[in-house]
Structure 1
Amino acid sequence: MHTCPEAMGHCKKINEVLARVGDRWSVLVIFSLRNGKRRFNELKRELNISQRMLSLTLRDLERDGLISRHYHPTIPPKVEYDLTDLGQSLRGPVKVMTEWALANHEAIDTARAAFDEQAAEAAA
């Protein structure tokens, strides 16, 4: 099999980006921020995510330039997150993925049940 060094370079770049924007929590955070700023606890409640995982996800998304963090020195302090222009550019792909997930979750559940049943029969 022949592999082109250029293709390998593209695969590496694609992998690096998809590792960030394609993970479960990043997609859900981007989806949640699609209509504007959200506070940390709003995201935590909506996504049913642990504080630690949300903190790590937000930090990674901010590092990659997909979200911005806005600190308001009030009492108590207020922190809001919002999509950057780069993050806004992901709204379309995330919308397509979430619509696909909602449209196909029943078919996936059915396929999983059939697979599990076949695996159980084979193990018996």
Structure 2
Amino acid sequence: ERRVMDWHFANLEYGCAALLKEVSLPYWNQDDVYGGFGGAHCMIKGGYSTVVESLGEGLCIHLNHVVTDITYHTKDHGVDDDQCEKVKVSTSNGREFLGDAVLITVPLGCLKA
């Protein structure tokens, strides 16, 4: 019986994205009442990574590059027009990438540290 209860607790923590001791009883299910997504709850076949992979199709994505600097220039900084409003990313191996935007995919705790 304990294993079944533990499974239900873990499943509820998954749904709330928090430990049960951190969930407020009056508000734990508020998305169903106050405008969450309509319809039945579901899981995506193959996991949520399939959504991310689909969004990334056709993009030039560089993995495993240690970023040492991110530089962003606007017109008022007096830079050439070809680099204006572009983002330059410098890496530890000496490579530089120029783009319209940068997507950072590290946990919030790492950014706060």
**TM-score relative to the length of structure 1:** 0.24
**Highest Rg: 1 or 2?**
2
Larger RCO, structure (CA 8 Å, separation 6 or more): 1
Higher helix share: 1
**TM-score relative to the length of structure 2:** 0.25
